[in-house]
Amino acid sequence: MNRNILLKDLKRRDYKETWDYQTELLQEIVDVKINNRRKNLSETTENHFLFVEHPHVYTLGKSGDLSNLLLNEKQLEEKGATFYKINRGGDITYHGPGQVVGYPILDLENFFTDIHKYLRLLEETIILTIAEYGLKGERSSGETGVWLDVGTPFARKICAMGIRSSRWVTMHGFALNVNTNLGYFDNIIPCGIRGKAVASMEAELGKKLDLDEIKEKILKHFKALFEVEEFIIK
């Protein structure tokens, strides 16, 4: 089993370009696995972790409802935003500047073959990360992601998650609102959940935060939780 992960920070990158890149990496891993099984080989599969910050974009998961996007094409254009219907789980969300977006493209057969555990460990990674800033992240029953003040009228989501997997290889991932302009969420029903607000670390703490510092903390907790041997900068 290969528990090393190739790490790449794509900085600011177009959503579609990044989606295509994720798909390419996933397919490379799947092809190795198919070849191994057909020819009884044991070639090692790679794991990847991408950080990225997207320009304003709304994405709708495969089970999502288009009516949760509250803008038409002209209004999207006026806001400088794009829209894509994509192949992850979940409903609609927003990505934009000031978010830390992480896309682990892992062969889970290198770690564990349990999608439920994978999602819970992704949530735990974020919960531990924001705890370092004094924020108490929590899970909300039946609602993937990380929330604040669960069980109160003030419950709000600070980190959205949605994934896809093929032959135990993952893609897509999480989007943590750090210095995010939350006004863009007003144009959707986030994750298809009415009456639930969104949060950012900046709004909660009253100050802008260093994205690179947060990425380092995410990697530290991800490494411990997933028992990663080493992150190798690509």
| 65 annotated binding-site participant | no
Q: Whole-angstrom Cα distance, residue 199 to residue 155? A: 9
| 91 annotated binding-site participant | yes
| 175 annotated binding-site participant | yes
Is 191 assigned a catalytic role? Answer: yes
User: What is the sign, positive or negative, of the torsion defined by CA atoms of 64, 161, 53, 45?
Assistant: negative
* Residue of 158, 191, 201, 228 marked catalytic: 191
| 114 annotated binding-site participant | no
| 127 annotated binding-site participant | no
Q: Which two tokens stand for residue 84?
A: 């894509």
Q: Whole-angstrom Cα distance, residue 37 to residue 98? A: 42
| 92 annotated binding-site participant | yes
| 173 annotated binding-site participant | yes
Neighbours of 118 (CB within 10 A): 20
| 161 annotated binding-site participant | yes
The catalytic site residues sit at 191
Q: Which residues are annotated as a binding site?
A: 88-95, 160-162, 173-175
Q: Which residues are annotated as a binding site for substrate?
A: 88-95, 160-162, 173-175
